[in-house]
Structure 1
């Protein structure tokens, strides 16, 4: 097959702000999780598939399988308005939990 480019599991990105290892990064409408710490302006690698434990809005009560969204600050929320679809909740995370397992880009 002559048109194969790559498996799509990872993607290079240029950090617009410092990124911690394991932090979610929004690239347009694609959510990736940074494989390492990346300084502003440097190139990092993000994982675009899989289930990750991500920070969530503590007060949100999110059921397993629910669509979840990412806010501009990298927090996962159940609120769609003004936010970008991040994927599906892989496990429930009620109030007052501060993390949630998310299958990103699902």
Structure 2
């Protein structure tokens, strides 16, 4: 097929700030997890499918299967207002946990 440009599992991006390997990156309404360290203004590659352990707002009590959102600082939260849908919680993560497993873009 001549018109297939990508399998949709990864996406290239230009870093608007330094990005650590494994960190979530918000690209419009798409969440990607960086495959490596990326310096400011460099091109990086992010994964757009899968389940990842991501940093969360410590005080949030997130139940398994709940919709979760990403804040502009890359933290996962249960608060929809002012944030972007990140996916679904793959496992529960109560208060005071620092991370949550997220099936991104789900």
Gaps of 5+ in 1: none
Which position in structure 1 is the counterpart of 2:47?
Answer: 47
Q: 1:40 Cα shift?
A: 0.3
Residue 27 of structure 1 corresponds to: 27
TM-score by length of 1: 0.98
Task: Give the 4+ runs in structure 1 shifted more than 6 A.
Answer: none
Give the deviation of 1:64 after TM superposition: 0.2
1:64 aligned residue: 64
> Could you state the TM-score of these two structures normalised by the residue count of structure 2?
0.98
Which runs of 5 or more structure 2 residues have no equivalent in the other structure? none
Rounded Cα–Cα distance in structure 2 between residues aligned with 1:34 and 1:89: 19
